[in-house]
A = this chain, B = another copy of it.
Amino acid sequence: MPAEQLAEITELFAFRRTGYSLDAPFYADPTVFKIDMEAIFGKHWIFAASVAELPEPGDYVTVDYGPYSLIVLHNDDGGVNVLHNVCRHRGARVLTESAGSTGNLVCGYHSWTYSPSGDLIHASAPGEAKFDKNCFALKRAHSRVVAGLIFVCIADEPPADFDETSKIFEPYLAPHDLSKTKIAYQQNIIEEGNWKLVMENNRECYHCDGHPELACSLFPTWGLTEGLIPPHLEEVWDRNKEAQSSLEERCRRYGLPYEVVEELDTRIAGIRISRESLDGEGESFSADGRRLSKKLLGDLPDFRLGRCSMHLQPNSWFHFLGDHVITFGVFPINEHQSLVRTTWLVADDAEEGVDYDLEKLTYTWKQTNLQDKAFVELCQKGAGSPAYEPGPYMKSEYQVEAFINWYVQRVQEHLA
């Protein structure tokens, strides 16, 4: 990057006003996007998929973000290999499907053939004297599988603190046992907005009046605290308090952690996790709070476990319930487009039409995703106007601010 351009970008970050939304170039400038891909997506652990998406050895998914394309492959040792999806011969994409099953990886162009670990094991080369196959393995990236979630990192040296973050979230998620789940449905939507707007939008419920379906599950007192409850919400407030203490009592009985851990801007692998009650029956994201799948996950003792919700920076959030799990991955395309991949997981012995109705299972979050897409797109459009200027975060948006603080700090360290 030319020195002058880099100086401009550095200044942009330096002059960011704390407590206010970011300046327009953060959302619309291709140079900032390039920096984001280097400093954030090129250096951090990225949520790629869950083990339910590649249950058998040979199963793979391809994951694209920014200019990168990665192969995430279930290897014969039960682990996961991550390979850059670029042939070492003339650069062709090796795998072209978004998911599938494969033995060796054969490039479609000249049939260069790689083992599942990326070694070049065959390249037809008649008469070739001095061609050393060992020099042309597919480039590898790092992987971690924690509680059934697969993370990848393309940096040479991934940030070490992910181990600590893993230790935080593993006890919350492990009881739901993703290794015994299957995909009920996967949705890919492209939002016409910068990836940061997608993440910001998910960090607050100040906008949750815009989610009528979700509001059946979440108590409409989000962001309120004792002493600030308007009269018409007092009843709800009490219902929420009661549901939460009942949930916590059950968690203690079952040995399930539930406390809020919030380290969004105090560590590299920023996290927020907690187990919170749901309205109604308290079991799932349905209008009345009842279970949406009849099969309990893992060895869970009870359906009535609210939602164990996790945010992981930079690109994911999750809801783990008694009857199903939903994973959300954000994969930036360019400065103004992002792919949001949502996956609904149920117990692997749950039968569609018998144990769960697919429409009902996915209804609340399909609606919520569409509403969020619209919100993100309103902001992307708005940021395009020279009349836009950063506005103040409200108290109920402190997590958005924490995410932004984290982002700015991470990039500044990279630029330094």
Chain B residues, Cβ within 8 Å of A410: none
Complex Cα distance, B378 from A387, in Å, reads 34
A238 at the interface (CB under 8 A from B): no
Judged by DSSP, the binding face of A is loop
Tell me whether B126 and A86 are in contact (CB under 8 A).
no
A379 at the interface (CB under 8 A from B): yes
A396 at the interface (CB under 8 A from B): yes
Chain B residues, Cβ within 8 Å of A254: none
Contact of A108 among B21, B210, B385 (CB under 8 A): B210
Tell me whether B210 and A93 are in contact (CB under 8 A).
no
Tell me whether B126 and A21 are in contact (CB under 8 A).
no
Which of A222-230, A259-267, A339-347 touches B? A222-230
Chain B residues, Cβ within 8 Å of A131: 392, 394
Q: Which 5 A-B pairs have the closest CB atoms?
A: A84-B387, A92-B378, A91-B382, A89-B391, A91-B388
A412 at the interface (CB under 8 A from B): no
Complex Cα distance, B154 from A259, in Å, reads 52
- Write the chain B residue with the least CB distance to A89: B391
CB contact under 8 A between A394 and B88, given known A68-B387, A207-B110, A381-B69: no
* Interface positions of A from 81 to 100, Cβ below 8 Å from B: 84-93, 96
Indicate with 1 or 0, residue by residue over A378-409, a CB within 8 angstroms of chain B CB atoms.
11011111111111101110000000000000
Q: Other CB < 8 Å A-B pairs besides A87-B391, A110-B206, 6 of them?
A: A67-B386, A86-B382, A110-B394, A123-B394, A126-B223, A128-B394
Most chain B Cβ neighbours within 10 Å, of A90, A206, A381: A90
How many whole Å from A152's CB to the nearest CB in chain B?
13
- Write the chain B residue with the least CB distance to A68: B385
Chain B residues, Cβ within 8 Å of A385: 67-69, 84-86
- Write the chain B residue with the least CB distance to A3: B4
A142 at the interface (CB under 8 A from B): no
How many whole Å from A18's CB to the nearest CB in chain B?
15
Tell me whether B111 and A209 are in contact (CB under 8 A).
yes
How many whole Å from A68's CB to the nearest CB in chain B?
6
Tell me whether A228 and B126 are in contact (CB under 8 A).
yes
A125 at the interface (CB under 8 A from B): yes
How many whole Å from A201's CB to the nearest CB in chain B?
9
Chain B residues, Cβ within 8 Å of A391: 87-91, 136
Complex Cα distance, B67 from A139, in Å, reads 38
Tell me whether A379 and B2 are in contact (CB under 8 A).
no
Chain B residues, Cβ within 8 Å of A206: 110, 124
Q: Can you give 11 A-B contacts (C-beta < 8 A)?
A: A2-B4, A24-B91, A89-B391, A90-B200, A90-B382, A92-B381, A93-B382, A109-B210, A123-B394, A136-B392, A139-B387
- Write the chain B residue with the least CB distance to A140: B387
A127 at the interface (CB under 8 A from B): yes
Tell me whether B126 and A384 are in contact (CB under 8 A).
no
